[in-house]
Chain A
């Protein structure tokens, strides 16, 4: 299985909205609505931010939102804050009942 494709880096200024993309195939992202997003700060385990494309776990800020179109999923962070600076990973359940991750995007808050 091939890793999902994410841009290596994205940057934005405080207060801005930014969108991270995650491109897969008809065997994963496009297969059904089981895309998740994770935030990982240096030296820490990943933290679930979005599941089932659009759902936020309890405690996650509503500044984080997810969407999907075809084989591409997106994570939008609105009202960017310094604390949002981290690595972000997408993942998808696949048609063969496995899980595939993206390569990760490093978000820099300018």
Chain B
């Protein structure tokens, strides 16, 4: 089974906006909810938010003011934007398929984003 594939800049300057995309390898983009999850180096997992193909979204309250997740079904892509980044946003960012109410059965390999000048 082909993997989800995250892509985007690996380095973002503090106060700027982090932008990532996740390519879904097949037509399942309209069948599931899709989430972004991050993991600071050496630390635990943090859920960022989800989106459905209808545009329905929900975000982690601690990040809600800075996060936007969007979806393009024609391109089979999910996108993440995180504004006003600081060093605390340095992490591996994963996209993942939600197959059952917050249960993630299919993950990308992750992409490391470093917030640094």
Give chain A's interface residues, CB within 8 Å of chain B.
Answer: 1, 3, 34, 36, 38, 45-48, 51-52, 57, 89, 91-94, 96-104
Contacts and interface: CB of A to CB of B under 8 A. Distances in A.
Given A45-B94, A91-B45, A104-B45, 9 more contacts: A36-B102, A45-B108, A51-B100, A91-B102, A93-B102, A96-B61, A98-B47, A98-B58, A101-B44
Interface residues of B, number: 24
A99 B105 contact: no
Nearest to B62: A1
Contact of A101 (B45, B58, B59, B61): B45
B60 interface: yes
B103 A51 contact: yes
Interface of B: 35, 37, 44-47, 50, 58-62, 94, 99-105, 107-110
18 contacts: A3-B44, A34-B102, A36-B103, A45-B107, A45-B109, A45-B110, A46-B45, A46-B104, A47-B107, A57-B105, A93-B101, A96-B61, A98-B47, A98-B58, A99-B35, A99-B47, A99-B50, A100-B47
Contacts of B58: 96-98
